[in-house]
Structure 1
Amino acid sequence: MSHIKSRLVGGDSICSGRVEIEHGETWVTVCDSDFDLKAASVICSELNCGAVVSILRGAHFKEGDGPIWNETLQCAGNESQLFYCPRISHWNETCSHANDVSIVCSGATDELRLVDGGSPCAGKVEVKYKDQWGIVCDGAWEMEDAEVVCRQLGCGSAVSVHDQGHFGSSSGPIWLDEVACDGTESSLYKCKHRGWGVHSCDHHEAATVTCSGHITPRLAGGDSVCSGRVEVRYGETWATVCDSNFSLRTASVICNELNCGTAISILRGAQFAEGHGTVWNKTFQCAGNESHLLYCPRTSHVNQTCSPANDVSIICSRHTGFRLVNGSTECSGRVEIQVRGAWRALCDSHWNFSVANVLCNQLDCGFAVSAPEEG
């Protein structure tokens, strides 16, 4: 069996594009007829590009040139390399470059990221090449380049680029330098650059960006890092959040993002004192399973006037100020929480057995046996 290997050409990244196979000394395109998911899976795996997202027929990433592969791949799907897939010759088949097949692998959606900026939409620009993350240098880095990054990540538009060292220094490979986008590209990989691994910069010169979709929550004014007034940073500005239409699902997403467990209580009416500055002018519509507040849909307030007196606060399960009182043992009784130094009874509006179980575990009281809602 002759040596063969594959590559993807003309796509939005190194993990998407027209399938080409090296046969001897020649690269050939592959016909979309009889090309199946199993063969695509082997190619994605061999290229360290994850799993198959889609097979695109009809020269989706433009027609190739040169010879066309004259065999059909008969992969089982578990081969480590395309080399090990059985092949049979085409029978009675006419195929042109208009039938060149392309694939998109899952790695194609995970080869660009922003790090050390506090959310997926702000930070130093990193790209993945040869299955390893590395930085993009800030040589010639401008707002047009940042705009492409923000758009590719689904983070809106670019708000700002930053001076060297704004998000700290980096380590690892330096993959790209002197990136030159015109701002209209769908992917950073379509922009001009000096070539992979070719650079004249160091790890203190990473390209950076803050996108308009950059949303990071924090809890302020509370009795611990897991309780307090909800504030969100949008772009470069911190804003408080109105208690109107603020849901337990949104609170749970915030607690989870802050590594504070799940939401125990929502406190309305600026219970942890009024904030300063702007008030967030949208309503979060979280499903509750989002990993970051950034991914929650948002709608504008309708006929709503909200002031700092309406700032919402939350208490997460990892808040240190919980106790049980008036019970028969130290592990039973009425639940009280500490708010600004004072102990208060916990409202049972969101109380359920799952939340009670979390609290029992935190208080070193095992698991919940019962969680009555009243009394």
Structure 2
Amino acid sequence: MRDVSVVCRELSCGDPLSLDAAVGGSGPIWMSHVDCSGSESTLKNCGSLGWGKHSCIHLIDIEIHCSGHRRSKLTGGPHRCSGRVEVLHEETWSTVCDADFDQQDAEVVCRELGCGLPVEVLGAAAFGRGEGQVWSKELQCRGIESEISLCPTSSSLRLNCTHGSDVGLICSGHTRARLVSGSDSCSGRVELQYLSEWGTVCDVSWDMRAASVLCAQLKCGSAVAVLGSDWFGEGSGQIWADVFDCEGNETHLSKCPISSWSRTACSHKQDAGVICSGSLMAVHEGRVRLSGGMECEGEVEVYFLKDWRRVLLDSWSESEASVVCRQLGCGSVFSFSSYSTSSPEHSHMCVTGFNCSGSEAHLGNCSSAQAVNCSSRDQLSITC
């Protein structure tokens, strides 16, 4: 972070916030093993192996975040995403009266700071009494603005507001998500960033609905499979054990309700992985779903030849069933059986002939499937 502070200062971009690994740089790599004291006026005055000397690849380029010219900040809290709200007006930082600050204002402050969504708005100087001015304006944000300077304001009616009423704010801190160690950016081990720290996700707190939200957030389509660490390897560092209780149609994980799961139940051997439909690992053919209203139990339907089709029981074995359960993020196979249906929407064509070893990530990797007339043949039901 000392190195980051030098860059932010040299660029007149405010204070250092975070540093991350970045993928996708190109051209020469100029510095490695950078060693700044933090007081240098320019990065070239910092120590390094020498200009252009390195043993690096672009997969470990560095990305930094500076505070920039933000008009809001949180101070006095345990980290930069919680604290007393202060706004910059005419080059002076002022606190905000708790009676003049609402949920929409909080959403904009958290967004501007890259701190996710607001968790709690606290009044009565919860993060200590500020100094200097109490802002004489009332924010009237709609909640959709990207920064506080874009919000309308009006004159506050509470001219006698004191620092005893300074408003505080706690933001979620969740900022970014990524999939790593897959064949591309739309498949891999799930990693989330809280503040400046990346961590993995425990598979006991992760399901197909959360995976679908993540894939949509990453512009990677929909979720095809949820997998364990045996697919994309074990991560390192923090394990985020938050349970994302998503409906599946949210546009961002931060919009899902979050509950807590005991971190003692998790290790990196349980790191969750996801394959999205936008990945080269997953063609649309072979997506699977269960009908009947239960998440991990029901009649098997497979997307095959551009349509959802029921699966015939013949030639089906425990190997294929284990792939389905894995693909759905539903654990291991418990049982599978036959059922008959006269449902007209499934009376035309079914699919049969999947030939799996049992270790595949999803049915699309299994060979020999073919479409056949359903007629009155037994169709497949599975319980994971």
The interval holding the TM-score normalised by the smaller chain is 0.3 to 0.5
More helix by share: 2
